[in-house]
Structure formats: structure tokens, C-alpha cells
Amino acid sequence: MTQLLKNSRVLVTGGAGFIGSNLVESLLLADNSVVCLDNFSTGKKKNIESFLNDSRFELIEGDIRNYDDCCKAAGGIDYVFHQAALGSVPRSIKDPVTSTDVNIGGFVKMLFASKEAGVRRFIYAASSSTYGDHPGLPKVEDKIGKPLSPYGITKYVDELFAYNFAVTYNIDVIGLRYFNVFGRRQDPDGAYAAVIPKFLKMLKAHEAPVINGDGTFSRDFTYIDNVMQANHLAALVSDEQALNQVYNVAHGERTTLTGLFNHIKELALNYDQGIKAIEPVYGPERTGDIPHSLASIEKAKQLLGYSPTHNIKQGLKEAVDWYWKNL
């Protein structure tokens, strides 16, 4: 990554989570002072343990639903990277109240606290779930449908609030619509575990992973290093035309779930030949899932200078190596 935000004071909300902890690490490596705000509802302390003795790192154990915590975290900050949210479509269907409280209520509190503190720029994690039932492929930022889950609704509402704050309060905002991010530190456990680490954990245990549906559903799987690049570029961009926008953050290629399993298995065979006979089990489709997802990344390329470094196979190679050593 050639362009990095440096020598700034930044806040990463949800900094103990999968994406957040990777962002904290990349910002510290670029000589920034980093404040992490997390309530550890889904984030894990082990993700940030290696940063705790770094004098440039500060942990605030707090909740974005508490406005005082937001104000405390935003004080003296140049850039906010807002990653805190309750993810997962199935979780939001099971409990829409908490997902809405965190993802919208907490978002607005953090955004307003940032405005009040004079933060230079607010960069936030948006989601490809915003595209909902729009059938077009690839997904283009200004063409969306109706979200298919409470989670998708919350992420779309966040975009509306961000734009409103930009117009009303003159705070710079940039939203990054993540597409199926994967990589080191992604949680393989629990009911809402992401598919790639879950597949890997089951293969390592010589168990057959379950694929929801017939395996033909496809996603634009996006390696974590591409996401780090997009966040740094969003902080650095100075062109007025690039501000107060949302951008797809993906690689721009589509992989079916069966194809994903085959890629992972092929790489995992380098570590354990005992998994050779394992095949996936196909189960029912999940409520709220869209069949296919593929991003156009032309807008991010043109306005942010985004140029993803890892395609699905390159990202999986690094991810499988990390998980085989750390699971």
C-alpha cells in the first residue's frame, strides 16, 4: 500500500473487531495515534492485545449507544473510522430491535459527537446489503433496491444520515460499502460466523461444511488488505468531488459458494491431505440472502485512486495460511 494516512490522531470504533483491529494495526504501523472504542459485544480483546503496550494506542471500553462514550472517544480526533456495528443478516432478522439500536442509534450518536468535536473527516463502514433486491450486476453505487433485511435497512439509513450531516453540519463524510470481507482475525465461531473461517475450521476438524442453498449463490469476496487501502485513501483524498460519497469496496469478481469451498479445500490440502474426501453439505437458503453480488469498483478507482492488491485466490492463500496457524 503506497498511500497511507500518517501522523494523525484517529478513532476506530469497533476497533477490537475483525476489520477494526486490522485497521488499528495498519494505522499504528503508519505512525498514527489510535483510540479504539469497543464494548466487546462482538469484538475480542485478543485482537488488540498486541497493541496494549504501544504508547500510541488508547483503549476506551464503551458503547456507541452511550453519547458520553462517543464524546469522550471523539475528543481531539482528526479522523474517525466508524466500524462499530452489529453485523449479520440472520442476527438482524432474529433481533431487529438491537441491530437498529446499535447500527442507527449508535451511528447517529457517534456522528454527532464527531461533528461537535470538530473531527476533520468521518469514514464509515457501509454495506453491500444496501443494494437489496436490485437485480443489476455489477452493483453501481447510485442504483439500489429495497433492502431485504433489518441489517440492510440500518446500513442504508446510515448513508442517509451521513449525507444529511454533511449538508447540514458541513462535516466531511465518506461511506465504504464493503462486499463480503475476509481475512486474518475473522471469527470462525458462533451462530453468525463468516463463511470462510467457518469452512476452514470445519475442514481442519475433518467435518463437512454446510453451504446454504445449492451452492450457486455468488459473492464478491474482498480480502482485508483491499479494505485497509480503501480506508486510508478515504482519509487522504482531497478532491471535493470525492467527499460526501459512498463507494463500493470489493475486488470486482464473483465466486460461487461451491467454487469458494473448492478454492479453500485446494489450499488447505497443502496443510492436511486428510481432508481430500470431504465434500460440503447443502442446506436450506437463508432468509434475507441475495442470490448474487458483484461490485463495480470504477467509482472508487476514479475518485479515490483505489486499486485492489488481492483477488480471491491471492487473499485466500494468505487467509488459509493464517488460519491454519491460528485456529
| Catalytic positions | 151
Nearest to 82 by CA among 59, 49, 101, 109: 109
- Rounded CA gap, 264 and 117, in Å? 45
Q: Which three cell numbers stand for residue 235?
A: 482519509
Helix (H, G, I), strand (E, B) or coil at 149: coil
Give strand pairing partners of 35.
Answer: 11, 58
Cell numbers at 114, concatenated: 464527531
- Spatial separation of the C-alpha atoms in residues 221 and 219, rounded to whole Å: 6
SS3 9: strand
Which residues, at least 6 apart from 189, have a Cβ–Cβ distance to it below 8 Å? 201
